[in-house]
Amino acid sequence: MTEKITQLHKIESSKSDFIVFAETLSYETNHALEFIDITEPVREFVSRSDVKYGQLTVSSDHTTAAVIVNENEPLLINDMARILARFAPTGDYYEHNDFSIRTTNMTSAESANAHAHCQHLLLGGSESLPIHNGVLRLGRWQSIFFVELDHARPRSIYLQAIGVKGSDQE
């Protein structure tokens, strides 16, 4: 797994303490139903953002990869992967995968990935989390995961922190 961070923008107003800060995390995933713990890079992003009190959005740029908050315990991760595979098995028939009838959103490298889109229904594409006193608020056992539902490939996650920026006089 390779991580790359790209700073997109930081918007500040001299008339306000409001700030918007955004970056993109890039990963090379290895396989379907891979749970990548991105908690530390996200915490580091929040620290760089200068947001003292506000909201963080963590969003997948893909419809076959998800973002979730859950416990990072290996056996639980195995259980979650098994449930997702049971909910939408790879080998089932999906009209989306029937390229003899499908005509919309087709590419030359189209893959039969309807199972991943259906698994995404259970998980969702983003999470919104509070930033309090400059720190990402997560519970004791909570971790942020990027979940690959399709196959190994380059992926990206958009991070955006908005809120009131901190000051050195506090």
Write out the DSSP string of 144-169.
EEEEE-S-S-EEEEEEEEEEEEP-TT
- The predicted model scores a pTM of 0.89
Overall average pLDDT of the 36-51 stretch: 97
Q: What integer pLDDT is reported at residue 15 of this predicted model?
A: 58
pLDDT tens sequence across 53-107: 999 999 999 999 999 999 999 999 999 999 999 999 999 999 999 999 999 999 9
Among 3.90.1330.10, 2.60.120.460, 3.30.420.40, 3.40.50.12370, name the CATH number for the domain at 3-99+111-165: 2.60.120.460
Domain ranges of the chain: 3-99+111-165
Per-residue pLDDT, 169: 46
